[in-house]
Amino acid sequence: MKTDSKRKVFVIGAGLAGLSCAVRLHESGIPVEVFEASDSIGGRVRTDVLDGFLLDRGFQVYLDAYRDAGRFLDLAALDLRRFQPGALVWKRGKLWEVMDIFRRPLSVFSSAAAPVGGIGDKLRIARLRHTLLRKPIADIWRSPDGSTCEYLRQFGFSERMIDDFFRCFYGGIFLEDGLVTSSRIFEFTFRMFSEGYATLPAKGMQAIPDQLASRLPPQTIHLNSPVRSIEGTTVRLDQCVLAASHVVVATDGSVAGRLVSGIDETKWNSTSCLYFAAERPPVSKPIIVLKGDREGLINNLSVPSLLSAGYAPRGQSLISVSILGDHRETPELTERVRGELVEWFGEEATKWKHLRTEHIQRALPIAPPGNDSPQPRHGSVLVCGDHTTSGSIEGAIQSGWRTARQLLSKNY
């Protein structure tokens, strides 16, 4: 590891923001080194391999309508596999199909018959889709801001539709079902779902940071290298002090608040994801399953191996079950969740093998209305990460290459 360079840039954090920044700088001819505190790249986007199963670090998807991420990544190489556009919603003791009828027109009657909201609500979905598809994305981020719940009520959706669909579907996106998240973020994500599909890379979400890292020279990324402090453009690690021309802090918002003065520590939404192995999938199609009734722990369920066979060994299915909130201190959690699964899918769920439970306390930055992102430059240190844009893969990659562009600009 070199100790200094007149032109070298240090990037602190090997999540999507830090990797995107480092790739943009390297491909523009700027030498860069990346310091990552953990034992792997990707930040909150990771995949572990357990007994032949690919376990993403919590339920995550890549929205293939993302503009900037789509231009920066090689999507063909990721081999994205699509969820069907819609959901199965648990209501009145059974699963009901609620589909995007613009892309699945043959489902118009089954979707209309589902007791999820009323006919007026389903017509409002079509009107909302039309409205947001015509609205420039830049205008979305300049829109009047309020909570998502207030926005939906003002748009005319019934409380029944909000409770039966939006709280569980967007609860899985925002990781909170009170729908207190900024309505701008709701408009943006609704626009992305309307334009494209929720997808998974064929080899797991880890394929995204792995692809970015492959565009950097060997030895650029230093794992297990936590930065303890920053003074100007000098960083202090456990074993040494290093100097560079510029420093980019690309950690999550909590670590950035510790390393850089003037940044408030990020508040987080938490989640837990339970993974099960089964001989047969509980549903027949690659679709997200939602808990429409408000009782119970489960928020959503999916079967990643129905999208890509690589998620599970031959003859096995991988089932992902997500719940909201911090449940680390709940020892009976697995059995409580299994009891709900038996209600949904019958006694077959008692045979499912519990593989792992991921408790993710810092899963997604809380984004209330009017939450101004911190300024990306603090003296000689630049800051990037999804906490400076929006809590999404798009937001993380945007922040990384925008920070690199700022470093490359003549006015920096």
pLDDT, tens digit (0-9, with 9 covering 90-100), for 14-28: 999 999 999 999 999
| Residue 4 pLDDT grade (very low, low, confident, very high; cuts 50, 70, 90) | very low
Query: Is 86 strand, coil or helix?
Result: strand
Compute how many other C-beta atoms are within 10 angstroms of the C-beta atom of residue 254.
Answer: 16
- With residue 288 as reference, give the H or E element that holds it: strand 288-291
| Helix residue spans in 175-312 (DSSP H) | 183-195, 207-213, 253-259, 304-307
H-run or E-run covering 199: strand 198-201
Percentage of the residues of the chain whose pLDDT score is greater than 90: 81
CA distance 215 to 376: 24
Mean pLDDT of 233-240: 93
Strand 221-222 and strand 32-35: the pairing is parallel
Angstrom distance (rounded) from CA 369 to CA 362:
20
CA-CA-CA-CA dihedral for 391, 254, 204, 201, to nearest 10: 30
Contact partners, residue 110, CB within 8 Å, separation at least 6: 96, 97, 99
User: What backbone torsions phi and psi does residue 4 show, to the nearest 5 degrees?
Assistant: -165, 170
pLDDT of residue 375: 55
Stated pTM of the model = 0.94
Q: Is residue 206 within 8 Å of residue 15, measured between CB atoms?
A: no
State the Cα angle at 259 between 257 and 264, rounded to 5°.
Answer: 15
Please answer whether residues 227 and 243 qualify as being in contact, where contact means their C-beta atoms are separated by less than 8 angstroms. Answer: no
Tokens of residue 306, six digits:
């129905």
Q: How many angstroms separate the CA atoms of 315 and 386, rounded?
A: 38
Can you tell me whether residue 71 is helix, strand or coil? Answer: helix
Which tokens hold the place of 90?
Answer: 């648990």
Q: Are 200 and 211 in contact (CB under 8 A)?
A: no
- Each residue's pLDDT tens digit, 299-338: 999 999 999 999 999 999 999 999 999 887 677 999 999 9
According to DSSP, residue 273 is labeled E
3-state DSSP percent of the chain in helix, strand and coil, to 5: 35, 25, 40
In the CATH scheme, what is the code of domain 9-43+206-266+373-408?
3.50.50.60
Determine the average pLDDT of the residues in 240-256: 94
- pLDDT on residue 372: 63
Rounded percentage of the chain residues whose pLDDT exceeds 70:
95
Mean pLDDT of the chain: 92
Tell me if 182 sits within 8 A of 368, measured CB to CB.
yes
Per-residue confidence at 79, pLDDT binned at 50, 70, 90?
A: very high
Contacts made by residues 335-341, CB under 8 angstroms, sequence distance 24+: 336/297, 337/274, 337/297, 337/298, 340/291, 340/296, 340/297, 340/298, 341/276, 341/282, 341/298, 341/301
Looking up tokens 């792997």 gives 40
Q: Where are the domains of the chain?
A: 9-43+206-266+373-408, 47-81+200-204+268-365, 111-196
Report CA-CA distances (Å) from 212 to 17, 31, 171.
Answer: 10, 16, 29
Question: Where does the pLDDT of residue 234 fall: very low under 50, low under 70, confident under 90, or very high at 90 and above?
Answer: very high
Q: Which is nearest to 39 in space by CA: 226, 256, 255?
A: 226
Max Cα–Cα distance, the chain, nearest Å: 67
Residue in the structure block whose two tokens are 């995204």: 208
Phi then psi for 119, rounded to 5 degrees?
-60, -40
Burial of 405 (0-12, 13-18, 19+ CB in 10 A): middle
Fold of 47-81+200-204+268-365: Polyamine Oxidase; Chain A, domain 2 (3.90.660)
Could you give the CA distance from residue 333 to residue 282 in angstroms, rounded to a whole number? 20
Q: Given this model, what pLDDT does residue 105 score?
A: 78
3 in Cβ contact with 383 (< 8 Å): no
Using one digit for the tens of pLDDT, what is the confidence trace for 168-213?
999 999 999 999 999 999 999 999 999 999 999 999 999 999 999 9
pLDDT value, residue 1: 42
pLDDT computed for residue 2 by the predictor: 43
What is the strand order of the sheet 9-12 is part of? 221-222, 32-35, 9-12, 246-249, 381-383, 377-378
